[in-house]
């Protein structure tokens, strides 16, 4: 936001600074954190994830990946590719979600971005927990076995651990950078 300040002899444009926004928020009675901004950021990030993963699934379906003749090495390579794509999607989604939270709040963008990643992780953990409680994980494992994918934990532990750590780190980094 810019505002023009007129002096008798000159006219100059002053750009709104961080301190101006903080003072405005304080005068309006707002605290340091905007819950609405955090919720908007989380919903944006999760929405981007859903759309991106849906597009990826449609592309894989259109390509027609033949899973019946895949070897364990092929499955492992596919797992690495899916993990990499997931990390990239999470980075982009939470970068955008942090940006939305920072813009909606108009203050403390980095803080709002960090809160987006935390709230997003809790939301995803709740979704996984609900799926597990309703025996959805059994259905997923059954479907993977129907496709011929190896489902033993020992076959996926390394990929899952690296992908999980990378996902958490890119969610945090992306949302904070987006917020700033």
Q: Is 169 helix (H, G, I), strand (E, B) or coil?
A: helix
Average of pLDDT values for 147-165? 75
- Give 101-118 pLDDT, tens digit per residue: 988 887 778 889 899 999
d(CA 120, CA 71): 35
The pLDDT of residue 136:
77
Among 32, 53, 49, smallest CA distance to 120 is for: 49
- Please, what is the average pLDDT of the chain? 81
User: Is 27 or 85 the better-scoring residue by pLDDT?
Assistant: 85
21's CB contacts (< 8 A; 6+ apart) are 106, 107
Question: Is the CB of residue 167 less than 8 Å from the CB of residue 86?
Answer: yes
Element (H, E) at 139: helix 136-147
- Give 64-77 pLDDT, tens digit per residue: 777 677 777 777 78
Query: The whole model's pTM is what?
Result: 0.72
């Amino acid at each position: 936001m810019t505002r023009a300040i007129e002096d008798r002899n000159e006219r100059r444009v002053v750009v709104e600074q961080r301190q101006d926004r903080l003072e405005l928020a304080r005068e309006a009675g707002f605290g340091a954190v905007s819950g609405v901004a955090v919720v908007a950021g989380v919903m944006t990030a999760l929405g981007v994830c859903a759309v991106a993963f849906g597009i990826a699934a449609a592309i894989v379906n259109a390509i027609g990946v033949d899973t019946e003749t895949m070897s364990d090495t092929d499955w492992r390579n596919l797992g690495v590719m899916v993990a990499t794509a997931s990390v990239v999607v999470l980075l982009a989604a939470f970068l955008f979600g942090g940006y939305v939270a920072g813009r909606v709040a108009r203050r403390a963008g980095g803080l709002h971005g960090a809160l987006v990643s935390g709230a997003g992780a809790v939301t995803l953990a709740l979704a996984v927990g609900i799926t597990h409680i309703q025996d959805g994980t059994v259905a997923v494992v059954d479907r993977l076995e129907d496709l011929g994918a190896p489902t033993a934990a020992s076959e996926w532990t390394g990929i899952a651990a690296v992908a999980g750590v990378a996902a958490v780190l890119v969610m945090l980094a992306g949302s904070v950078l987006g917020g700033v």
